[in-house]
A = this chain, B = another copy of it.
Amino acid sequence: MSKTQNKLSIIPLGGVGEIGKNMTVYTYGNDIIVIDAGLKFPEEEMLGIDIVIPDITYLIENKSKVRGVFLTHGHEDHIGGLPYLLKSLNVPVFGTRLTLGLVEGKLREHGLLETAKLNPITNQSVIKSGEFTVSVFQNNHSIPDTVGFAIDTPEGVVVHTGDFKFDFTPVDGQKADFFKLAQLGEKGVLALLSDSTNAERPGYTMSERVVGQTINDCFATAEGRVIIATFSSNLHRIQQIIAAAEKYGRNLAIVGRSMVNNITVAHELGYIRINPGTLVELDEINKLPANRIAILSTGSQGEPMSALTRMARATHRKVEVMPGDTVIIASSPIPGNEKYISRTIDQLFRIGANVIYQSVSGVHVSGHASQEELKLMLSLVRPKYFVPVHGEYRMLKRHSELAIATGVDPENIFIVDIGDSIEFQGGKGRLGPKYTAGNVLIDGLGVGDVGNIVLRDRKLLSQDGILVVVVTLSKQDGTILSGPDIISRGFVYVRESEELLEEANKIVMQTLAKLVSENVNEWSSLKNGVRDALGRYLYEQTRRRPMILPIIMEV
């Protein structure tokens, strides 16, 4: 292939038309680089599914071309799919020190740490990767060491923001690199791919320092113990909580597996400062007076098995919430978790705790840019083409309106779905072919072995349960040797519905007898006959449609 025929293709395999499982592929000639490898959490109808990752058929089919995976930051929706990708494709991974520190824990769990090729980068790195030259730039987000990438290609520079906000007073002092972004804009940027999560929110997102101030106020006025729950990855907030504990002379105990893990990693790598003597073991806290105690915990989403929920329900092994405790829930509910978190808050109030939470006070700010910041990014970078990413369709749409407002030609905006490609050749962009993309469902150890039929069955089973009808027939003459036995699960209380089930039994008997007398002896016909007759009867009696599973044994 001659160079002039080459083109740049950008293919989002995840993160557009959805929140989560972010992954974007850049292809030029024989070189492919991948930005991020995230997971998303299952939708409500994906019953029993643990996590969802992108379909990487395209990468597997082009295995020999893939030069590396570049990670913007250490959140699950950007790194959670990495172990599954590396199992198919052991390519070099590039990430900042904290990001790689968090990746290492994951790879260890999957037995991949020994073989993985991890390459630390800084916010000043420039990495040559085939035809691509990737320059890193500093971002702000709700986890430290978050970066974006300026990808220099033969077709021009593409700026890929990753998740970001502009925090003018960041907790770790690492401001976004306005100069680098402005310089890129001045030199000319072919395309911008930018975070759309908060594209529906007017104004600016507040600085993380605002939360620090609220937390300080809470520590200053609390008379009893302070228990504070937040996202275990929000190390800026965790740093501010540690500082507040130290300022007000409280010892701090840390509760919850992911909180302990993340703080350990971040502390080892120097991303968190803790004075000697601040931390105490959870076992030790009862020896201290209430006003010298602070507890930092997971469970800010009210997850039923989390530390905070167990402390609230007095099912935690070591601590329970008591009247007089101040409990701070420093987070906002992720859509779908509203009910869990409300229940936890109710339970805490019932105990007599003083609860400080989102609806009534400013204990959380977002990690994503609001409309004015998105316009600032667009104004710094001044791209010719614009591709809103990281968002559901309406957010991408809203973001594209912001781009138009800042001067991007509406013709040069692509709102795409996963698997769509945007091709650039001779400075011109257009929609290219559609590639394989989708949701790969992970259930336990199974990757992709649960599909629509299994999910449909789980849905049916969850609504009205199941009736199993077993009968043993004679091989000779089809007479019933044993049964029919009817066993139900998830349908009705058996004890209270004996009559119903006895009648159901009669109907199965009659149906079988009738079919056999008519010389119907194919199993499938017998089973369908039983399923229809029994289904009809049960629906008439109960207006429910349990799954009916007829089983015929032959002796």
Contacts and interface: CB of A to CB of B under 8 A. Distances in A.
Interface of A: 17, 43-44, 47-48, 200, 335-336, 338-339, 342, 345-347, 349-350, 355, 359-360, 392-394, 397-398, 443-446, 449-451, 453-455, 457-466, 468, 470, 472, 481-483, 485, 487, 489-493, 496-497, 541-544, 547, 549, 551, 553-555
Nearest to A359: B200
This chain: copies in complex:
2
A462 B47 contact: yes
Given A335-B339, A342-B394, A472-B555, 14 more contacts: A350-B393, A449-B493, A449-B496, A449-B497, A458-B465, A458-B490, A459-B462, A461-B489, A470-B553, A482-B554, A482-B555, A485-B551, A489-B549, A555-B555
A184 to B, nearest CB: 30
Contacts of A444: 464, 542-544
Given A349-B393, A492-B450, A549 B468 contact: yes
B492 A446 contact: yes
A326 to B, nearest CB: 15
Nearest to A451: B493
A336 B335 contact: no
A266 B181 CA distance: 60
Contacts of A454: 465, 490-493
A541 B449 CA distance: 13
Contacts of A462: 47-48, 458-459, 461-462
Contact of A493 (B350, B453, B543, B554): B453
Nearest to A304: B45
Contact of A485 (B336, B493, B553): B553
Contacts of A360: 200, 398
A493 to B, nearest CB: 6
A457 B458 CA distance: 12
A342 B449 contact: no
A463 B472 contact: no
A553 B553 CA distance: 9
A155 to B, nearest CB: 29
Contact of A463 (B48, B489, B491, B542): B48
Nearest to A360: B200
25 contacts: A17-B346, A43-B339, A47-B462, A342-B394, A349-B393, A349-B394, A443-B544, A445-B541, A445-B542, A453-B493, A454-B490, A454-B493, A458-B462, A458-B465, A458-B490, A461-B466, A461-B490, A466-B466, A468-B468, A468-B551, A470-B470, A470-B553, A472-B553, A487-B549, A553-B553
Given A339-B44, A462-B461, A493 B450 contact: yes
B551 A487 contact: yes
A21 to B, nearest CB: 16
A347 B543 CA distance: 32
Q: Which of A458, A483, A485 gathers the greatest number of chain B CB atoms within 10 Å?
A: A458
A541 B460 CA distance: 25
A466 B492 contact: no
Contacts of A496: 449
A395 to B, nearest CB: 9
A554 to B, nearest CB: 6
A256 to B, nearest CB: 22
Contact of A464 (B44, B48, B453): B48
Contact of A555 (B338, B463, B481, B543): B481
Contacts of A463: 47-48, 458
Nearest to A49: B463
